Chains A and B, each alone.
Chain A
Amino acid sequence: GNSVTQMEGPVTLSEEAFLTINCTYTATGYPSLFWYVQYPGEGLQLLLKATKADDKGSNKGFEATYRKETTSFHLEKGSVQVSDSAVYFCALSPEWGNTPLVFGKGTRLSVIA
């Protein structure tokens, strides 16, 4: 079946540090891939997405590249800020059928000044 595995948290970084949150997936065909972010006390919101192999999604300084050969979609940011503290979810939407999003378990990021 379809599944998403992302690195366990929590992740604690100092401001301006480089961020990587690993995400790998299992799915047949070419799913669409997403990163969602959940700020404290809020619902999830879409951060970025990629719909085909080698696509790079980007938003707010975050990037992720759809790697079909390694079935990965790692989230990166060159210089994190305190305001990036949140929970990050990797998700996929299967290529076929009317099936819902599959989420990873989330990674909590804390950025300290």
Chain B
Amino acid sequence: AQTVTQSQPEMSVQEAETVTLSCTYDTSESDYYLFWYKQPPSRQMILVIRQEAYKQQNATENRFSVNFQKAAKSFSLKISDSQLGDAAMYFCACGGSQGNLIFGKGTKLSVKP
């Protein structure tokens, strides 16, 4: 079984600053993937970034990067140069060999101008 925990229900960041969203997970599988999804007020779920567990190098997508600590089962998301459009719910998810994803409860990110 897999579990995903996001301990920060809400976060706030000043525009142009950097913010880090936390995620911890637990899985018994050796081959798994981790994801961060963004859900803006439009409610569309958008993939932000993906990390393969077998890769040691942290994934990066433009202003978004992760800090993947496999031994600690930690997968945090860093957003640099925050923009107003980054305001959304962010969900961490873990996917195993069965193809399904387990999602955390989400973190609501507010961006202050």
Q: Do A and B come from one complex?
A: no
| Chain A contacts to B: CB under 8 angstroms | none
Residues of B within 8 A of A (CB): none
